[in-house]
Structure 1
């Protein structure tokens, strides 16, 4: 901080929605040895800033300690004055981690893997839309104007020229991500109009979740400075595909450093099939984490090129679980269920938890699908209310994450669903007002 003449420090924690909460402190007042305090109730806020009716923290509305993770120290590239940002962990005053902290949830799952001599590896892929700025929420979103002063016509999957329409944005995005140590891999144009996809390099789950958390914030800032929005809604526009966060997962042996999904002869191992079996068994109960909002379920439809079940297959993108072509050392499972609207810490933690349960319980998967999985029955919850019920009824997940966390998360989602359900939509006014 002294070297870069930092004047302010953004002290961040990711909340349950994956938003950045915390405090901004003058550099000369920031003392990492002392730390900061924040009400624990911040971790029970809904995406609208409200709280569930039931208190899941102390009725006294007590504080938690924010302890900086020095490995997350980064500059804030868009700040006018030299500013640093640090992601903090949340602790109680008895020295234990706050169980509602999304980072603590993911760290707990990593420890379970470590206890087995395993090291999980993940690689997220994030899809998002660029859209015109529209302050009126009742007006549908539109694609932005590019450098040719026109909006995109139709869908331009994998078009290089369509990506180049927004070169000014992506040039800044790459610079800002490099400054923050966000390891970007590939940029492509996805199926939707002005829909993009960014892949991150594979690595350890916690640093990758941090990078997703910071990447979303960065892209929003870049877009606003170029007079448009970047949105990570799962289904922001009618008639357009949804946006996902696909999670590639593999597991290494901590003793050998080898991928345990492959046997020495290069063939798939029992652990590989058990991992898939665990995902197939427990992901339906965990859908409320992978589809956390009412809007998320607009994406999970056979009409939007998104998974509707948990069939698996080799290089089959119609399946919820895809195994890409690779050599034995890179054998992995791609979870295609998650929308990009997820909290990355929770989505990665729960996906790894389902695979962990599969390996521990030696669950066998179904036979791989060779045709279209869209033609197979729908296996996932169709709306948030149903997903919450399935989550609270899943005892194996409760044992991994704790009853307190699952009850709190479910109550937050119930509060959001109730608030949404009270809103009457334009469709209802248009077709029901005078016709029923």
Structure 2
């Protein structure tokens, strides 16, 4: 379980008592440096690093960082809000020792996620990890709820020898094909070994649909740890691929056409160790609270898209009839619905039943995405929102009248349209707080302006290696 305590100047309670032993252990493992990892508003992983010998200082007093990073775009240009984006000010990065792990894919390095506080020791209102920790803590306090979550990871494997920024698939085998698994057998075996050494529980690792595409599904954790694991897993995949002469992309659309890379969220609500998505009297074993939680997510999906599909390239992926979930609809194991109810296998449903949110890709900051999905679900639960009728098959087949009767509408088709929905959603904006909500808006509009006038192929190329 990840700590929900905020860092404080001088160190979190208990951290100083164990950091010396951790530092000594890392030195024994010949770990020379620690990666301090965070994700910016644009969804780009950013880092600072410290020598292992400086870990105690980082735990005690943090590592400096400018608040300007909260308004970086994927191309490293900077937008501004009323309070962010200037060269003024400083923050402190505090590593979470509960999540520190030596990196098997990067010998000589360890990794830890960070929370950010101000120089005065207050929560930084733009810290997405702190936002998710707050959402989890508030749900426990106000509703007695805990969550289990996981983020699916799809990525495209290209040849490291491809010219320039071109994408040349590193495997030619068919979708889900045995041939593709054999072609990249050494890479994926080393990847599984690295995951195991780092304590990342892997449920599945397999070739996916698009050219050179793979997917890994990992075990569920509390939401903060699940977001951490998503960031760590991508760092590991990239590192192991590089050691095999490969280049990987987690971008929503590596090419303008075809199926893109998703980052579907899996989430379940628990109270007192009991899964609310199983054993209830509602549809498919859901309790009334689980149904209302799902209804809240559905109701806020158009606005959520600005958080879960935050790149112009996301809208190259969000197309009907490609299992991307582009309609406000839910269904039992329906892969075209934006919200998929997963019951799990008979005999394990009390452990496995969950919701899958599909219009999510890996340009999304996982802390923002999970936090906002939880905020949406809790809004539905608080209001006892009724879950509408389910759909079966592909919602793209519905005519306008039938879709309206079922409450099925197309999600935003562009990033500016998603921002309009987000601006109108007071629940999500209130959950994020004004500083972080304004950063989301400014960064999304900045990304849209950065590619204005580009055709789809150039949009895909612009983001191909950013994620």
> Would you say same fold, with TM above 0.5?
yes
Of 369, 373, 376, which residue of structure 2 is paired with 1:347?
369
Q: Residue 119 of structure 1 corresponds to which residue in structure 2?
A: 146
- Counterpart of 1:432 in structure 2 is none
Cα 1:144–1:58 change in 2 (3 A) is closer
Report the counterpart of residue 259 of structure 1 in structure 2. Answer: 275
How many angstroms apart in 1 are the aligned matches of 2:218 and 2:119? 36
Stretches of structure 2 that go unaligned for 5 or more consecutive residues are 1-22, 404-408, 460-467
The secondary structure found in structure 1 opposite 2:275 is coil
Deviations 1:266-311 (A, max 9, x none): 8421112111211111011111111111110011111433222021
Structure 1: gaps spanning 5 or more residues? 146-150, 429-436
Count of matched residue pairs: 415
RMSD in angstroms over aligned alpha carbons?
2.2
Deviation at 1:265, TM superposition (A): 6.4
Tell me, in whole angstroms, the C-alpha distance in 1 between the residues paired with 2:80 and 2:274. Answer: 48
C-alpha spacing 1:193/1:21, structure 2 compared with 1 (3 Å): closer
Q: Cα offset for 1:38? A: 1.0
Task: State the partner residue of 2:417.
Answer: 386
3-state SS of paired residue (2:154): strand
CA distance in structure 1 between the partners assigned to 2:452 and 2:253 by the alignment: 18
1:129 matched to 2:156: yes
Q: Offset at 1:381?
A: 0.5
* Greater Cα offset, 93-102 or 64-73: 93-102
Describe the shift of the 1:224–1:58 C-alpha distance in structure 2 as closer, same or farther (beyond 3 A). closer
TM-score, normalised by the number of residues in structure 1: 0.89
Deviation at 1:390, TM superposition (A): 1.2
Q: Which has the higher helix share?
A: 2
In 2, Cα distance between equivalents of 1:238 and 1:13: 29
The 5 Å alignment of 1:333-372 reads: 333-372=355-394
Residue range with higher mean Cα deviation, 114-123 or 185-194: 185-194
**2:435 matched to which residue of 1?**
404
Whole-angstrom distance in 2 between the partners of 1:75 and 1:162: 30
Report if the CA contact (8 A) 2:78-2:85 is conserved: no
Residues 326, 338 of structure 2: 8 Å contact kept? yes
Match of 1:52 in 2: 79
- Find 1:301's aligned residue among 301, 306, 319: 319
Could you say what secondary structure the match of 1:421 adopts?
coil
Which of 65, 68, 72 is equivalent to 1:38? Answer: 65
CA distance in 2, matches of 1:3, 1:305: 45
**Conserved? CA contact 2:312–2:415, under 8 Å:** yes
The alignment status of 1:91 with 2:122, answered yes or no, reads: no
Q: Is the 8 A contact 1:56 1:408 kept in 2?
A: no
Shift of residue 260 of structure 1? 2.1
Are residue 108 (structure 1) and residue 134 (structure 2) matched? Answer: yes
Instruction: Tell me the CA shift for residue 182 of structure 1.
Output: 1.9
- Structure 2 SS opposite 1:104: helix
Whether 1:162 and 2:180 are equivalent positions in the alignment is yes
1:188 aligns with 2:199: no
Which whole-Å CA distance do the structure 2 matches of 1:265 and 1:425 have between them?
47
Equivalent positions of 1:203-282 (< 5 A) are 203-253=221-271, 256-263=272-279, 267-282=285-300
- Deviation of residue 10 (structure 1)? 2.2
Q: Which stretch has the larger CA shift, 292-301 or 168-177? A: 168-177
Pick one of 36, 41, 57 that aligns with 1:16.
41
1:7: which partner in 2? 32
More displaced stretch, 198-207 vs 160-169: 160-169
- CA-CA distance at 1:423 after TM superposition: 4.4
SS in 2 for 1:278: helix
Alpha carbons 1:22, 1:38 under 8 Å: kept: no
Query: Cα distance, 1:411 vs. partner?
Result: 0.2
SS at match of 2:264: strand
Deviation at 1:104, TM superposition (A): 1.1
Flag the 1:53–1:3 CA change in 2: closer, same or farther, 3 A: closer
Q: Do the aligned residues in 1 keep the contact of 2:330 with 2:391 (CA within 8 Å)?
A: yes
Q: Quick one: structure 1 residues 91 and 345, their matched pair in 2 at CA, closer, same or farther if it must change by over 3 Å?
A: same
**Cα drift, residue 181 of structure 1:** 2.0
Counterpart CA distance in 1 for 2:46 and 2:79 is 18
Distance 1:143 1:261 in 2: 40
Conserved in 2, the CA contact under 8 Å of 1:309 and 1:320? Answer: yes
